[in-house]
Amino acid sequence: MSLRSGTLSFFRMRTRTRGSERMSNRRPGTNRSDPSLKSVSFNLTHDWQSEKTPSQCFGEMLLYEYLADVTFSVGVGLQKVEMKAHKFMLASRSATFFSMFCGTETANKNDVISIDEVEPDVFRKLLRYIYTNEVDITTKSVTALLHGAKRFKLGGLVELCSRKLAEGIALDTACTLLEQAHQYQEPTLEQSCLDFIYKNAHTVLTSPQFSSLCPQCLTKVLESDELRADESVVYKAMLTWASRACNKQKLPVNGDSFNRVLGKLKYLVRFPVLDIDFFSKHVTNDGILTKDEVIEVFKYLHSRTAPNLGRFITRRRAMTRAYRFDVSSGAWNVGNVFCDAIQFQSSREIVLDGVIIYGCYIGEASYDVSVRILGERHQLIVQCDSELQTSAKTELYDVLLNNGVTLKAMTWYTIVLYMEGPQTKRGVCGKNMIYCEQVQFFFKTSILTQNCTTEREGQIPGIIFH
């Protein structure tokens, strides 16, 4: 053996020995701080791969930073931590990293890539998911993890986080999760939160978390027709939100400040459907409306015939429609002094908001309409008179009562309808029993009907309730 070859062999052996010492004696790499990854001693001749799955092998490579070719500086300030990884693995799983390493501005091997917007613990979880497709999602970390998953375009992890958040929607978390879904632009989670709030509106609107919503989320909640809360509750919730906004901006809590912080948001409250006594006692004194707006709403509450209320919404919320006819066929005579009537009862207590009637059979027509709700002994409970413009292009029309009427369960009530005008459409194949929103309705022919409406055919195709 020549001196040169002997020297080279000695050098290789010494280098390998020193490398082994460095491997066995070095302090754990940054990635090792993840306790969920099993550690191994990297003996270069030991076969540690054969009994492991690919994801387990990838996890070990991440843990020991072996053959790592990219370094990240994660966090801000004193919390910055360096972590090493493998470009191939990152680029194969994330479009963000693929663009970063394969694009025109690829990072050099010695470059340290700064990640400021993600916390170190969260970034470790992201790396673990990329390498092993496994992740520990906790309630505490899920929101930050969702943000990181969207930042690095990890679609599968976004779905897992969204599912975890959706499962955690509750009365005391719905508003907070809605804010997070809005912040991280997660529409599926956002809609889940909104649906939960709509169904549990009374409790959520009176919770402390509601006043912390941003204006955009506040709008999405209060603009919906599906919000199941009395409008007085909506008004009080808006006022609480405005008061908090005033305090936050160090403004006096009064009507002028309310208008300043709310702006157009105040019109999300449907003032025209408030009870007139509540409106008189509270709204007129809180200063949230101008004097002209108060007069405008007062006129509507007294007459219910104002054709245009500008920005004010007159439509009630969360009203459900129950239909007793499957189809319409042919024309139905109305007019003179003859009335249509039908009896009904419900399996649960409901609030009756109005009735549904058919419009004109051909062309366009105007009707004078009078709807009366009678009690079990045919005593008058409420009456609503209005003028209705109809077109044959639209089959059904709502006639809303001035105020909802609470009806007892399993009690017979009668709807009496007077219409003055030309022929309307006619319902057929009527049902004497239907289910709607977990309420069972029963219908039968009324002895008061004068225009031949029965449970099988005629007018009054449905009711509106909540």
pLDDT at 418: 95
Asked whether residue 225 falls in the same domain as residue 259, the answer is yes
Mean pLDDT confidence for 12-33? 42
Nearest in space to 72 (alpha carbons), one of 185, 156, 148: 148
Please name the residue ranges forming H helices in 200-287. Answer: 201-205, 215-222, 231-248, 255-262, 276-278, 284-286
Name the band, by pLDDT with cuts 50, 70 and 90, for residue 169.
Answer: confident
**The pLDDT of residue 419 is above 70:** yes
Asked whether residue 295 falls in the same domain as residue 327, the answer is no
Identify whether 311 is part of a domain: no
CB contact set of 88 (below 8 Å; sequence gap of 6+): none
Q: 428 — phi, psi (to 5°)?
A: -135, 170
Asked whether residue 334 falls in the same domain as residue 461, the answer is yes
Identify whether 81 is part of a domain: yes
Distance CA 460, CA 417 (A): 8
Asked whether residue 195 falls in the same domain as residue 230, the answer is yes
pLDDT at 109: 55
Identify the residue with better confidence: 26 or 410: 410
Name the band, by pLDDT with cuts 50, 70 and 90, for residue 116.
Answer: confident
Q: Which amino acid is at 451?
A: N
Structural domains in the chain (count): 3
| Range among 92-96, 119-123, 224-228, 263-267 rated most confident | 263-267
Domain boundary among 240, 268, 303: 303
pLDDT at 38: 42
Do 321 and 437 meet the contact criterion of CB atoms below 8 Å apart? no
Domain harbouring 436, CATH code: 2.60.120.820
| Range among 83-87, 141-145, 400-404 rated most confident | 83-87
Identify the residue with better confidence: 132 or 1: 132
CA angle 365, 370, 373 (to 5 degrees): 140
**What dihedral do alpha carbons 102, 103, 109, 112 form, nearest 10°?**
-120
* pLDDT, tens digit, 9 for 90 and up, residues 46-56: 788 888 888 88
pTM across the whole model: 0.61
Distance CA 409, CA 78 (A): 66
How far, in whole angstroms, is CA 123 from its chain's centroid?
A: 28
pLDDT at 10: 34
| Residue 374, beta-bridge partner list | 380, 414
CB contact set of 322 (below 8 Å; sequence gap of 6+): 434, 436, 437, 439, 441, 462, 463, 464, 465
Q: What is the mean pLDDT of the chain?
A: 84
Identify whether 226 is part of a domain: yes
DSSP for residue 78? G
Name the band, by pLDDT with cuts 50, 70 and 90, for residue 438.
Answer: confident
Asked whether residue 455 falls in the same domain as residue 343, the answer is yes
Asked whether residue 325 falls in the same domain as residue 428, the answer is yes
Q: Which amino acid is at 46?
A: H
State the residue range of the domain holding 109.
Answer: 27-155
Nearest in space to 466 (alpha carbons), one of 312, 372, 354: 354
**Helix 215-222, helix 231-248: angle, nearest 10:** 170
- Token code pair at residue 313: 């919404």
**The pLDDT of residue 269 is above 90:** yes
Asked whether residue 259 falls in the same domain as residue 372, the answer is no
Domain boundary among 132, 155, 178: 155
Asked whether residue 278 falls in the same domain as residue 326, the answer is no
Do 422 and 333 meet the contact criterion of CB atoms below 8 Å apart? no
CB contact set of 445 (below 8 Å; sequence gap of 6+): 342, 343, 453, 454, 455
Nearest in space to 95 (alpha carbons), one of 105, 104, 103: 103
Identify whether 186 is part of a domain: yes
Asked whether residue 188 falls in the same domain as residue 151, the answer is no
Domain boundary among 260, 276, 303: 303
Q: 98 — phi, psi (to 5°)?
A: -60, -45
Distance CA 85, CA 65 (A): 6
pLDDT at 4: 40
DSSP for residue 38? P
* pLDDT, tens digit, 9 for 90 and up, residues 62-106: 888 888 888 888 888 777 888 998 988 898 898 888 988 887 555
CB atoms within 10 A of CB 41: 10
Identify whether 309 is part of a domain: no
| Residue 145, beta-bridge partner list | none
Look at the alpha carbons of 200, 206, 208, 212 in this order and tell me if their dihedral is positive or negative: positive
CB contact set of 19 (below 8 Å; sequence gap of 6+): none
Identify whether 14 is part of a domain: no
Do 451 and 334 meet the contact criterion of CB atoms below 8 Å apart? yes
Asked whether residue 377 falls in the same domain as residue 434, the answer is yes
Identify whether 310 is part of a domain: no
Domain harbouring 114, CATH code: 3.30.710.10
pLDDT at 309: 74
Identify whether 53 is part of a domain: yes
Mean pLDDT confidence for 348-361? 92
Distance CA 177, CA 194 (A): 10
* pLDDT, tens digit, 9 for 90 and up, residues 327-339: 999 999 997 678 9
* pLDDT, tens digit, 9 for 90 and up, residues 183-218: 877 788 899 899 999 989 989 999 999 999 999 999
Asked whether residue 390 falls in the same domain as residue 413, the answer is yes
Name the percent of the chain lying above pLDDT 90.
44
Asked whether residue 99 falls in the same domain as residue 178, the answer is no
